[in-house]
Amino acid sequence: MPKIWLAMSAYNEAENIVPLLESAGEVFRAMDACVEILLVDDGSSDGTAAAARSARLRCPLAIVDHGANRGLRQGILTALREAAERAETDDDLVIFMDSDNTHSPEAIPEMVRRAAEGADIVIASRYLPESRQIGVPWRRLWLSHAARLLFQWRLGLPGVRDYTIGYRAYRAGLLRSALSRHGDSLMEREGFACTNELLLKLAAMGARIDEAPFTLRYDRKRGQSKMRLAKTIFETLKTLWRKR
């Protein structure tokens, strides 16, 4: 089994980060996997980093401090770059997930299995028959479903149903190649739209993509959503039409 690098970016997630890290740790113990966790603290003011350090873990935890809030795009970019640079082989897996405890770590074993079968990217998909979404506000359901239909209509990437979820496993070598080619322009869209932009650029490099089912647990999230709905829609549409 390749080494796993669990990467996250967090902004004021002190209430969510500990249960997420500890549940992920339980999954990794059951897998008997070699894992390191990398957390980008994106200028949190609520003690997110201290909370993360208090989590009961048996695997190493590294925290990268942005010092000030630089936004979701830069948080994800830093997390992916740091994990890819620290990876020991190109076949190591970098798994990025949200830090608000909505992404169930129980999906990770299946994501790793599908990567072992040859996928360069494995998406934790909300749109497979076994997938579920619990406690998600109707506006978010509408936005993600509309985005899925638009992306399938305009692009139709083979094997992809979920274009906008950030929960994905990437082969480290793919990320290294993409960062070498694009640098910071690997993701240029601000906010949540940067995740579909990243997927499209990696697909253009010939990445093999698969999906694994998972349960989105919005009912576990504490605190308010940081998604700006209107901006997310606008940035997503810009990405979609430019990539045609």
Residue 238 has pLDDT above 80, yes or no: no
SS3 label, residue 162: coil
- Note the pLDDT of residue 240: 56
Residues with Cβ within 8 Å of residue 196, at least 6 apart in sequence: 147, 151, 163, 164, 236, 239, 240
pLDDT single digits (tens) 165-189: 999 999 999 999 999 999 999 999 8
**CA 153 from centroid of its chain's CA atoms:** 23
In the prediction, which pLDDT does 146 show? 81
Q: Which of 55, 8, 11 is nearest to 224 (CA)?
A: 11
Pick the more confident residue, 203 or 140.
203
Q: Which whole number is the average pLDDT over 138-148?
A: 81
- pTM of the predicted model, to two decimals? 0.91
Summarised one tens digit per residue, pLDDT across range 213-235 is: 999 999 998 866 555 555 555 55
Q: Assess contact for 39 and 64: CB atoms under 8 A.
A: yes
- Domain coordinates of the chain in residue numbers? 4-242
Q: Taking Cα atoms as reference points, which of 223, 216, 240 lies closest to residue 106?
A: 216
**Six token digits for residue 204:** 């253009």
Which of 44-58, 62-76, 204-218, 221-235 has the weakest average pLDDT? 221-235
Q: Return the closest-CA partner of residue 75 out of 124, 38, 121, 45.
A: 38
Confidence tier at 116 by pLDDT (50, 70, 90): very high
C-alpha 170/C-alpha 193 separation (Å) is 18
Q: Which CATH number fits domain 4-242: 3.30.70.270, 3.90.550.10, 3.10.129.10, 3.10.50.40?
A: 3.90.550.10
DSSP class of 129: T
The pLDDT of residue 140 is 81
Half-sphere exposure of 218 toward its Cβ, with a 13 Å CA cutoff?
A: 13
pLDDT at 208: 98
Question: Could you tell me which residue, 75 or 235, shows the higher pLDDT?
Answer: 75
Alpha carbon 70 to its chain's center: 17
* Mean pLDDT confidence for 156-169: 92
Concatenate the DSSP letters of all residues of 126-153 into one string.
SSSTT-EEES--HHHHHHHHHHHHHHHH
Q: Please, are residues 98 and 179 in contact by the beta-carbon 8 Å criterion?
A: no
